[in-house]
Every structure is written in structure tokens, then in C-alpha cells.
Structure 1
């Protein structure tokens, strides 16, 4: 068995069948993308939401007790929060002295 096959087998045991995870991720993303303001998100926010959907899909198709999925969700949410703060900061005008 190749290293790649070994890794894929390990990941499949942890996260579930790749086809199931991909399908669930795309279903969740379809809901996210149907939101009225999805088009106003920046690349960081969109990517964070995609990754969160993927981590949710892994949790519901694989090992639901694998804490790293939830830690990753928190991490991607934090990155999206920082992207919001950067946009808000760029839109705040400094007072004229």
C-alpha cells in the first residue's frame, strides 16, 4: 500500500467516506450561498464559511467525538471575525486633527 493510500484510509476512518463528506459540504454551502448577502462577503469570510461547512460535514459523517473538528471550526470563525474587523477598521475614518 502506498503512503497516499495509507493516509486516505486513515482519513476515511476519522472523517468518513469522502463522497459523503463532499456531498454534505456542498449541501451546506448551497444553503450558505443562498443567503441574501453572501455576495458581499470577502474571500476570507467565504473561505472560512466553506471550511466550517467542511468541518461540520466531517463531524456528522465521521467520528463525532474528534475534538479537532470543533477546534478548527472555532479557528475558522476567528479568522472570519478578524476579516470583519479589518473591513470595519478600513471603513472607519480617522478624525481630522
Structure 2
């Protein structure tokens, strides 16, 4: 069973940073998804990929994966890019 561990990013629609420091352990699907013939939605038969676990730190997520023998790889967090802009730039 494979999983990936990554850090939750800040929501782009809100200015707050709540839950942005959490680490997520998410299971990966072993089989490709296939479209449903009736609705066209992509889905699979694995319920394990619906499980998402949150941890307060990377070490806690690694310890959980090691304890439960989960082959997890860590996805590094992206570097935040700041776009510094003055309000007066809107009127030039």
C-alpha cells in the first residue's frame, strides 16, 4: 500500500492561514480510475484512496507510516511566492 505525505497549502480564496501547517497522509490508488458509463465521472473500486489522515508534524506522519508499514514518500512543500504590489499600481 503506497501513500504520499505532503503539507497542506494555504487556501487561495481566503487570507487566513488556518490548517496550513498540517501534514496530510493520502493513500494512492494501485489501479487507474475508469469513467462510469452512466454519468461519465471517473472512479474506482478502492475505498482506501478516500482516506485522508492529518498530522500536526512531518515526524508524526512518518512515525504513523512506519508503525503501520505503509510505503510513503514525502512531497516537498512548494516555496511561497509573494507578489508585492502597491494599490496605486492599479491606476497607472
TM-score > 0.5, shorter chain as reference: no
Tell me which protein shows more helix as a share of its residues: 1
* Structure ID, larger Rg: 2
TM (norm. structure 2) is: 0.28
